[in-house]
Structure 1
Amino acid sequence: MTDLVDGAPRALARQLLATLDRDTPRLERIDNYVQGKHDDPYMPAFADDEYRLLAKRAISNWMPLLVGTPAQALYVDSFRRGRTVDTQPAAQLPEWRHWQQSRLDARQAAIHRGALTFGHSFALTEKVKGKVRTKGLSAMRTSAVYEDPANDLVPYAALTVTRRPTGDLPGVARMWDAASEYRVTFKSFTDAASVRVSRVRRHGCSECPVTRFCAAVDLEGRTVGVIEPMIALQNRINQTIFDLLVAQTYASFKVRTATGMAPPIKRDADGEPILDDNGQPIPLPVNVNAKRFLFAEDPDVKFDSLAETPLGGFIDSIDMSIRHLSAISQTPPHHLLGQIANLSAEALLAAETALSRKIAEFRAMFGEAWERVFRVAAELAGDTAAAEDYAGEVLWRDMEMRSLAQSADGLGKLAESLSIPKRGLWSRVPGVTATEIREWEQIREDDDAELQLAQSIRRATPEPAAEPVAA
C-alpha cells in the first residue's frame, strides 16, 4: 500500500458510505421479511402474553417462495461468443473455464437471489494469485456510484464493507474505481471526518471491476426486487391469520351458561366459606365435559349456550389475500395454494405464462450483467479480443417441465418439416445440460469413427470368389 490518498478517492468513499447508510434501514427491513421477522399484527395495547404468543404463531412467511420460484429457473448453462468464426465449444473457452474455476455453477444462485430480494446485487471480478475469479457481493454491504444510474452498466466506483465498525475497532472496506483498488477505514457510515483511504494496487482492468445485477431498474436509477412491493400484502395475511387464531382460541366452541344457580364454594375444615382478598367466597371450578350432564334442583335455574364464532369468513379472507399475492407477484396460484387437481396441460401452461414472462425479463437483465463479467474476466486474463466481444451471450438452462414424449414428438416434427439439423435441437431436450450435450457429441464422433473404419475395412477386403456350380 502507498501513502494516504486525498481528493477524489476519499470523496468517493464518503459518498458510497453515505449511500450505504441511507439504504441500510430499507434493506434490513427487506431482509427481516425474508427471514420471517415480520411486523407484529395489530393487537390491543393491554394484550397479555397469550395474545403475543398467538401473534408469533400468526406469521406465515410467503417471502422466500416469491424469491425462490423465479430463482430456481435462472441457471446459466453455457456461454457463446459473438464472433461467428469462433467454433470452439463452450467448455474450451477461457470465459467458461473462468466460470468453472470461480464455482459459479453453484454461486450464481446467491447472486440471483440477492438481486431478486433487494432489487440489486453485485459481482466482483479480480485477479487473485495470478488467477481470475468472480464472487458475489451483498447489497447490504456494497454500494456503487454511476454517472447515469439508469443506463450505465459500468459503475464509476464501488465499495464493499468487509468489517463493520464495532466499539473502538474501525470499519474496513474495499473500494474500486476505473484504475485502482483502495483500502477504506471509517468509524461509522456518517462520520465523514474519520474516513481514511489508501491505494492498494492497480486492479489491471480498464474500468471498475464490479458488476451490478438488477432485477428491475427504472429511468431514475431506482432498483426494486420482488419482496418490497409485497410487504403490505404479507402484513394483511399475517393480520387475518392472527384474527383467525384469536377466534379459534377464544370463540370457536359453544359456551354453556346457567342462570339462577349459585356455584359451589370453597370451605375450610370447619365448613366455613373461604374468602378472597375482596371478602367474596371463592367458587369451585365446575367440571363440564361431554360425558357429564348439568342439572339443578331449583326449577328457576335455566341452562343455555352461546353459539361459536364461524371461522369460514377468516379462511376465505386468507385465501383471497393469497390470490392477490399471486396475481401481483406473477406467481402461479397453484405454487401458493397447492391446488393443481384436475388441471389440463393447457390450463397449467396458461397459469405459468405470467411467471415465464417475468423469468424472461430477469434473464435479459441478468444476462447483460454476466456478459459484462465475462468481458472483464477476459481483459484481466489478457484476451483483448474476448474483452471487446459485445455480441457474446449466456445460454440459460431450459427449466420448463414438459413430458419427454411430448418434447420428442415436437422436436421430431421440427426436424422433419422445417429441415432443422437434429444437432441443433439437442439443447431443446428437457433437462439436458451442456455437459451431457458434449458427451453426446463425443459419443457420436466415436460412433462415426468406428463406422468409417468398418466401411474402410469392408471396401479393402475383396469379395470371396463364387464357387463353381456343378453341372
Structure 2
Amino acid sequence: MKKNDVLELVSQELLPALDKEIQRTRELEKWSQHGGRKPVLPSNAEREHKALADLAMTPWLGLIPRVSAQQLKVDGVYSPDRSDESLALFWGPWQTNNMGTLQHTVHRSALSFGMGFVSAVPGDRGAVFRAYSTAQMLPVYQDPVHDEFPMFALRMETLPNGDRMLFLLDETTEHILSVEKRTDKWAYITLSDHNVGVCPVVRYAEEIDTEGRSPGEIERLVTVGSRINKTVYDRLLTQHYNSWKVRTATGLDDTMSDSEAEQLKMKLRQNDILTGGEGVSFGTLAETALDPFVKAKESDLEDISAVSQTPMSALGKMVNVGNDGVAETKSGLRAKTRLRQDSFGASHVQLLRLASHIEGRKADSEDFTIEAHWKTLDIDLLAQEADAYGKMAGMLGVPVEKLWEKFSTISKPEAQSWARYREDHPTADEITARSIAGQLESAL
C-alpha cells in the first residue's frame, strides 16, 4: 500500500475501531482487577456511603477466566504420521519463544476479553512470537469466521508522553506511523518488509460465533457482577447503621432546645446506662438481620457459577458432597475446558505452522495432521477414568489398547503412540506367545 492509503486507512477506519476496543477492554479490566462499577448512589450521598461503596467492590469476575486458564497447558504436539524427531523440530519455535509460560498470558487474555493475538515475524533465531490483547491489536478479516489469517492488523504502543506509535501489518510489510497527543498530528515514519506472505497474526478466540464475535467470559457476567456489588453494599450499609439494637426513651424533659437534645444524644454511647425520673420509659428497636443479605450474595454467586460453568468450590463455598457429587460439580468446567482446548489448540498449531513457514520448513507448514497435546491437570478425572476402564479390562476382558483412546484426559495421538510403543516393546509373555505361535505355524 502507498503511504497516503496507509494513513487514510489507519486514521479513518482502523484507529477509531481500535479505540473502541481499548475502551471495552479497559472497562472489562476494571471488573477483572477492581470489581467493576460502584453501586449507584444518590447525589446527596454522605462520605460514609461513598466509603462503603468502595468497600463493596470485589473482583469476582476476574476469578472466572483465571480458573478456566488454570486448566489449560500445552506440553507438546503429536501426529500419527510423524516421528518424534520431526515433531521436535516443529516444536522448536515454541521453546525458543518461551511459549510454555507465554501461553498462560494468551489464554487469560482470550478468556477475559474474548480474544488474544500472537504475531510471528522473522528474527535472528527464526520466528519471533509476541503476544497482544484486544487493547493493543486490531486484526481485520475479510471473513472473520473462516479466514485463517487477517488481511491486516493494527498494533499500537503508547509512549510515556502520551504520543502513540502505530504499526500496520499486511502480507509483506510493516508500516510505522505516529500520532502526537497534543496536536493530533499524523506522520508516516517508515516501513520494513517481513515478506511472510500472509499477515503474520494468529487469533485466539474464546468462543467465536458465526458473525466473528467473541465476547469473553467477563462480559457475559457484568450484570450479575453489578448485582453482587449492590448486594454487598446494602449489607455493609445495614451493618454500619442498623446491625445493633437501638435504645429509645420517652417522657424525657421536652423543654430542651434542639441543639441541647442533639448534644445529649452525642454524649450517649453504646455502653451507657440510661436513667430517668417519673414518666420516663425506655425500650429498644431490634437490629436488622444480616442473614438475608448474606443469602442474597450466595444466590448471586450461584448464578455466576451456573452461567460460567464454574464449580462453587472455586468461588469459595465448600459443599459437603461425596465423590460423585464432586465429579458432577466439575462436569461443566470439564466440558468448557475441552471446548477451549479445541479452539486454542488449533491456534497454537496454526502459530507453529506459521513459524515453520517463516523458517523455510515447507512440509511442516503444510502438515494439518499435527495436534496440540494438553497436559492433564485434572488428576481426579484421570483417576476416575483409569479406575472405570481398568475394571472394563479386568472384569470384561476388553483389550486395554482399545480403551486408551476412550480417555478424555488423554489425546488420541498420545493413545496411538502408546499402542506403537506396546507393539515395539512386547512383554515377556507376549514374546513367548508369539514364539509358540510361530513354531506351531511352522509345524503345520
Q: How far, CA to CA, are the matches of 1:165 and 1:175 in structure 2?
A: 21
* Cα distance change of structure 1 residues 391 and 8 upon mapping to structure 2, 3 Å threshold: farther
* Cα distance change of structure 1 residues 89 and 423 upon mapping to structure 2, 3 Å threshold: farther
Amino acid at match of 1:295: T
Following superposition, the deviation at residue 289 of structure 1 comes to 4.6
Q: Which residue of structure 2 lines up, in the alignment, with residue 199 of structure 1?
A: 191
Following superposition, the deviation at residue 132 of structure 1 comes to 1.9
Match of 2:247 among 250, 256, 265: 256
- 1:263/1:284 contact within 8 Å kept: no
2:84 is paired with a residue whose SS is coil
Match of 1:304 among 258, 271, 283: 283
- 1:154/1:207 contact within 8 Å kept: yes
Q: Which residue of structure 1 lines up, in the alignment, with residue 25 of structure 2?
A: 27
1:178 is paired with a residue whose SS is coil
1:128 is the counterpart of 2:123: yes
Q: Please give the residue correspondences for 1:349-368 in structure 2 after superposition, counting only pairs within 5 Å.
A: 349-368=327-346
| Structure 1 gaps, min length 5 | 266-274, 453-471
Q: Which residue of structure 2 lines up, in the alignment, with residue 53 of structure 1?
A: 51
| Structure 2 gaps, min length 5 | 432-444
Following superposition, the deviation at residue 280 of structure 1 comes to 8.6
Q: How far, CA to CA, are the matches of 1:188 and 1:389 in structure 2?
A: 46
Q: Please give the residue correspondences for 1:343-422 in structure 2 after superposition, counting only pairs within 5 Å.
A: 343-402=321-380, 406=384, 408-410=386-388, 412-413=390-391, 417-421=397-401
Q: How far, CA to CA, are the matches of 2:45 and 2:110 in structure 1?
A: 39
* Cα distance change of structure 1 residues 352 and 311 upon mapping to structure 2, 3 Å threshold: same
Q: How far, CA to CA, are the matches of 1:227 and 1:363 in structure 2?
A: 19
Deviation per CA, 1:411-456, whole angstroms, max 9, x where unpaired? Answer: 544666332349968x9889xxx9xx99xx9xx99xx9xxx9xxxx
Q: How far, CA to CA, are the matches of 2:222 and 2:382 in structure 1?
A: 39
Following superposition, the deviation at residue 182 of structure 1 comes to 2.1
Amino acid at match of 1:198: T
- 1:263/1:283 contact within 8 Å kept: no
* Cα distance change of structure 1 residues 106 and 422 upon mapping to structure 2, 3 Å threshold: farther
Following superposition, the deviation at residue 17 of structure 1 comes to 1.6
Amino acid at match of 1:102: N
The percent identity for this pair of structures is 27
Q: Which residue of structure 2 lines up, in the alignment, with residue 150 of structure 1?
A: 145
Match of 1:96 among 77, 91, 94: 91
Q: Which residue of structure 2 lines up, in the alignment, with residue 78 of structure 1?
A: 76
Q: How far, CA to CA, are the matches of 1:18 and 1:190 in structure 2?
A: 17
Q: How far, CA to CA, are the matches of 1:340 and 1:361 in structure 2?
A: 26
1:330 is the counterpart of 2:309: yes
Q: How far, CA to CA, are the matches of 1:372 and 1:405 in structure 2?
A: 32
Following superposition, the deviation at residue 404 of structure 1 comes to 7.7
Q: How far, CA to CA, are the matches of 2:42 and 2:347 in structure 1?
A: 49
Q: Which residue of structure 2 lines up, in the alignment, with residue 320 of structure 1?
A: 299
Q: Please give the residue correspondences for 1:104-143 in structure 2 after superposition, counting only pairs within 5 Å.
A: 104-143=99-138
Amino acid at match of 1:333: M
Q: Which residue of structure 2 lines up, in the alignment, with residue 229 of structure 1?
A: 220
* Cα distance change of structure 1 residues 126 and 424 upon mapping to structure 2, 3 Å threshold: farther
Following superposition, the deviation at residue 293 of structure 1 comes to 4.1
- 1:13/1:184 contact within 8 Å kept: no
Following superposition, the deviation at residue 97 of structure 1 comes to 1.6
1:402 is paired with a residue whose SS is helix
* Cα distance change of structure 1 residues 383 and 404 upon mapping to structure 2, 3 Å threshold: closer
Q: How far, CA to CA, are the matches of 1:147 and 1:164 in structure 2?
A: 31
Amino acid at match of 2:120: T
Amino acid at match of 2:74: V
1:109 is paired with a residue whose SS is helix
- 1:121/1:138 contact within 8 Å kept: yes
Q: Which residue of structure 2 lines up, in the alignment, with residue 455 of structure 1?
A: none
1:67 is paired with a residue whose SS is helix
Q: Which residue of structure 2 lines up, in the alignment, with residue 41 of structure 1?
A: 39
Q: Which moved more, 1:105-114 or 1:388-397?
A: 388-397
Which structure has the larger Rg? 1
* Cα distance change of structure 1 residues 223 and 379 upon mapping to structure 2, 3 Å threshold: same
User: C-alpha root-mean-square deviation of aligned residues, in Å?
Assistant: 3.4
Q: How far, CA to CA, are the matches of 2:322 and 2:105 in structure 1?
A: 34
Q: Which moved more, 1:113-122 or 1:46-55?
A: 46-55
Q: Which moved more, 1:175-184 or 1:118-127?
A: 175-184
Q: Which moved more, 1:239-248 or 1:392-401?
A: 392-401
Match of 1:241 among 221, 232, 257: 232
Q: Which residue of structure 2 lines up, in the alignment, with residue 456 of structure 1?
A: none
Q: How far, CA to CA, are the matches of 2:275 and 2:160 in structure 1?
A: 72
